[in-house]
Amino acid sequence: MSDFQLYFLTGLRHVLSFDGLDHILFLIMLALPYTFKDWRQVALLATIFTVGHTMTLALAVYVLGHISPAPIEFLIALTIFLTAVFNIFRQAKGSSLSTVNLMAVTTLFFGIVHGLGFGKDFRMLASGNSGNKFITLLEFTLGLESAQLIVVLCVLVIGVIACDALKVNRRDWLLVISAFVAGISATYLIERRFW
């Protein structure tokens, strides 16, 4: 297996595994309000999330020392919870998707937080590569971005099936799924308290 395959697949598995549940839940909440006609916006948000995540991984490799994982795990759960609650309130107010700029800035910050959660592991992964650490980061990021776009695509497809084929009310779909994920992430918040 080539280095590219190794680090690309590691990036894929970082999201598309049980260990990547935090990524999956966040991406579900990020993509849920959108439909296929909005695919560019939600793909851009997923990429912005990847950029934030990658910025932190780069810092982990080149600058950062040890950061305590307990507050980071709490903050990751908080990002999922806040995004779910935002979806609920956005639907309750009946607002449109004109909040993309707010979502872009928030998503970048949340990507940074999620990257902090994997920073130590990625630093160890990159140190095992005697080659260029930047190339390792790029290969991992390509896998990460691919996995995130797969999750976004799945959310959009399931939304079409639920709302168009099964005639579930789109507003109800968003509220129920968001409330469910908010409940899961609230449980994580309680479990991951660090004080």
Q: Is the pTM for the entire model greater than 0.95?
A: no
Which of 116, 98, 117, 112 is closest to 48 using CA atoms? 112
State the average pLDDT over residues 36-44: 92
Assign 66 a pLDDT band (cuts: 50, 70, 90): low
Count CA atoms closer than 13 A to 50's CA, side-chain side.
24
> Rounded distance, CA 58 to CA 111, Å?
13
CA 148 to chain centroid: 7
Per-residue pLDDT tens for 136-154? Answer: 899 999 999 999 999 999 9
Query: Taking a C-beta distance cutoff of 8 angstroms, is the pair 24, 151 a contact?
Result: yes
How confident is the model over 143-171, as a mean pLDDT?
96
As to burial, measured by CB atoms within 10 angstroms (0-12 exposed, 13-18 middle, 19+ buried), residue 145 is: buried
Q: How far is CA 165 from CA 112, 146, 152, 159, in A?
A: 37, 27, 19, 9
pLDDT tens-digit map of 24-37 = 999 999 999 999 99
Q: How confident is the model at residue 96 (pLDDT cuts 50, 70, 90)?
A: low
What is the 3-class SS of the chain, one letter each residue?
CCHHHHHHHHHHHHHCCHHHHHHHHHHHHHHCCCCHHHHHHHHHHHHHHHHHHHHHHHHHHHCCCCCCHHHHHHHHHHHHHHHHHHHHHHHHHCCCCCCHHHHHHHHHHHHHHHHHHHHHHHHHHHHCCCCCHHHHHHHHHHHHHHHHHHHHHHHHHHHHHHHHHCCCCHHHHHHHHHHHHHHHHHHHHHHCCCC
Residue 19 pLDDT > 70: yes
The tokens describing 83, both together, are 């995004």
Neighbours of 65 (CB within 10 A): 7
In sequence order, the 6+-apart residues with CB closer than 8 A to the CB of 86 are: none
